[in-house]
Each structure stands twice: as structure tokens, then as C-alpha cells.
């Protein structure tokens, strides 16, 4: 890059710099070859050089599309052109009831975590404002409460999302400024996926009806809700118990979080646990009428025994 620095590139560098400023660990960029992750790789390369810290990229090949190995190799090649060493990790996606998108995400995160474990690195993820807006709308559609509306955090342990304040059009500008050619995943235009329809149909309609700025407004809402959710989660951690009388004395918002953690600790499937499930568990505490058990995703049931709630394996016969 020569001449005047592109203001979008400058802003992106500041976002990455701020996101990792308080943590000197090595950086791993989750690189798919798409526009967002290529832009992040370019920006992370600059920040790492500036801070004299190690950075590398990991390209996860899910093997779900014809030619995926070639696409992954091309992504690694472009990273190398940015002076970021990259390796391709091939994973097997085992789809269960969660669906192909969730199964691929689980396999991808496991591969990234395994690589980062080698030197306790931070993992940079290229989610943008657009991704956050889609996540919020998906959460609203599920009716699964404030946690889903809070979207994705900028920082969650080793997982860092510095681009949550950037639009997808800005990552395209960053790639063009660095002379990078990105891959357009055909899954991103496949209307079988709900997220794709939100991106291509619902969000444009909302932008038209509400006069623009919807993606930024949804992302801002997520940020505000997350602050409240984090506080309530902290209170729930302090109040954690399986004793019915103690649970009954808690405020509703805190009790629901304690119950959620209780059933997740007992083996319930987090991705399938809904507000309705938790309402039935709550009834064991607040509206006890001798219910036998509450069955939850993950083949786990909650029973009330005396003054305690206990998680058991759901009997096969039902």
C-alpha cells in the first residue's frame, strides 16, 4: 500500500489494536478466504508487526463443498503474501440434530481452539456489524430471551471479535486496498439457510421501511443488552444453588439464569434449550403441583426431590 492510508484500513487497525491491547499473547486469525477474514488477516498482520508479536492464520477445511481443499490452499497462500504463516486443518463435520451450519461451526471452533492451545494464543474472528445484526434477529425469532439478543461479545475468553463495529462493505474496501481477492461462499446465497434469508431479504426490507441504519441499531442494541446480561449472569453466579427454597427467594431474572446454568451443568443441550424449557423447570420451584419431571434437550430431565432440583438421564421409555 502506498500513498495516503485508506481511512477504513486505519479504523480497522485501531479496532484490532484496541481489542488485543491488554493481552500480549500470540494471535491466531480464523481465515476462511472470505472477504471478512481476509481483511482481518491483513489488518492483524500490520498490528502484529507494529507490536512485535507473533501472528498466524488457521484455515479450516470442512470438506463440505467440491473444491474446498483448493479454496483453503488459496486462502493460506494469500495469508503468506501478507507475511502471515498459515496452515490448513481438515475437519470432519458430524451432523446431528443441530443442522449442518451449527455442526460445521462446532468443528471449526474445536480446530481453532486446538491450534490456539499450543501457545495459549488469542483467536481473532472476523464477525462484522452485519453478522451481529443477523444474530440478533435470529435470537428474536427464537424468542430465547436477552442472552440471544445480546448477540456475540467482542471478547469471550480467548475469542476476540474486533470487527463487530465494521460493516461488510468496509471489509471489502480493506481487501481492495491490500490487493486481495476473496472467495464468495455459495452457502452465503443459499436460501435454505435462515441466516441467508435474513441477510438478503429481511434486513434490506427493514432498512427500506425504517429508513436505514438498521444493522448498526441492532448491533448497538446487542451491546447495550449484553451489559445487562453480564451483570445478571454475575449475580446468578453468586446465587447458584439447587435448593428450592433458596431458588424461590431469588428475583425472577436471576433465578432463570441459575436454573439455566443448573440444567447445563446437568448435561442439557445448550443450543436447543429454550425459554419454554426453562419456564417448565421454573414451575418446579414456583408452581409445584407434583410434576413428575421436566424433560430437556440432551436426554436430560429435571426432577424435584424434597428441597432440591436434580438432573437425571431421561428414562428411555419416556
Known binding residues for ATP are: 32-37
Residues paired with 89 in a beta bridge? 60
Q: Which of 46, 122, 137 has its CA nearest to residue 84?
A: 46
Residue 78 is placed in which grid cell? 494469500
For residue 176, the surrounding DSSP H or E stretch is helix 168-177
Measured CA angle at 102 (ends 96, 105), to 5 deg: 120
Q: What backbone torsions phi and psi does residue 259 show, to the nearest 5 degrees?
A: -65, -40
Residue 157 is placed in which grid cell? 475468553
Q: What backbone torsions phi and psi does residue 313 show, to the nearest 5 degrees?
A: -70, 135
User: Are residues 155 and 19 in contact, defined by beta-carbon separation less than 8 angstroms?
Assistant: yes
For residue 185, the surrounding DSSP H or E stretch is none
Helix (H, G, I), strand (E, B) or coil at 275: helix
Q: Where are the beta strands (DSSP E) in 84-215?
A: 86-90, 122-124, 155-156, 159-160
User: Are residues 41 and 76 in contact, defined by beta-carbon separation less than 8 angstroms?
Assistant: no
Q: Which of 36, 28, 30, 94 has its CA nearest to residue 63?
A: 94
Amino acid at each position: 500500500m502506498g500513498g495516503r492510508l485508506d481511512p477504513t484500513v486505519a479504523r480497522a487497525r485501531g479496532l484490532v489494536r484496541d481489542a488485543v491491547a491488554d493481552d500480549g499473547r500470540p494471535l491466531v486469525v480464523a481465515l476462511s478466504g472470505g472477504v471478512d477474514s481476509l481483511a482481518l488477516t491483513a489488518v492483524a498482520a500490520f498490528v502484529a508487526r507494529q507490536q512485535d508479536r507473533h501472528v498466524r492464520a488457521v484455515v479450516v477445511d470442512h470438506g463440505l463443498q467440491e473444491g474446498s481443499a483448493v479454496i483453503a490452499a488459496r486462502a493460506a497462500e494469500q495469508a503468506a503474501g501478507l507475511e502471515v504463516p498459515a496452515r490448513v486443518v481438515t475437519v470432519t463435520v458430524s451432523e446431528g440434530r443441530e443442522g449442518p451450519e451449527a455442526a460445521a461451526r462446532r468443528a471449526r471452533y474445536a480446530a481453532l481452539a486446538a491450534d490456539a492451545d499450543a501457545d495459549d494464543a488469542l483467536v481473532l474472528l472476523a464477525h462484522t456489524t452485519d453478522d451481529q445484526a443477523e444474530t440478533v434477529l435470529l435470537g428474536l425469532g427464537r424468542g430465547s430471551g436477552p442472552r440471544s439478543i445480546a448477540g456475540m461479545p467482542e471478547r469471550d475468553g480467548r475469542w476476540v471479535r474486533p470487527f463487530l463495529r465494521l460493516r461488510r462493505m468496509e471489509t471489502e474496501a480493506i481487501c481492495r486496498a491490500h490487493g486481495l481477492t476473496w472467495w464468495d461462499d455459495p452457502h452465503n446465497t443459499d436460501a435454505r439457510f435462515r441466516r441467508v434469508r435474513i441477510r438478503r431479504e429481511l434486513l434490506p426490507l427493514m432498512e427500506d421501511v425504517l429508513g436505514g441504519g438498521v444493522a448498526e441499531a441492532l448491533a448497538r442494541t446487542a451491546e447495550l443488552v449484553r451489559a445487562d446480561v453480564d451483570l445478571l449472569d454475575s449475580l446468578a453466579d453468586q446465587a447458584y444453588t439447587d435448593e428450592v427454597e433458596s431458588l424461590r427467594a431469588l428475583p425472577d431474572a436471576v433465578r432463570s439464569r441459575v436454573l439455566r446454568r443448573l440444567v447445563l451443568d446437568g448435561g442439557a443441550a445448550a443450543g436447543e434449550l429454550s425459554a419454554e424449557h426453562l419456564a417448565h423447570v421454573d414451575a418446579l420451584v414456583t408452581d409445584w403441583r407434583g410434576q413428575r419431571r421436566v424433560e430437556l434437550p440432551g436426554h436430560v430431565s429435571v426432577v424435584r426431590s424434597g428441597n432440591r432440583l436434580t438432573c437425571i438421564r431421561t428414562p428411555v421409555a419416556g
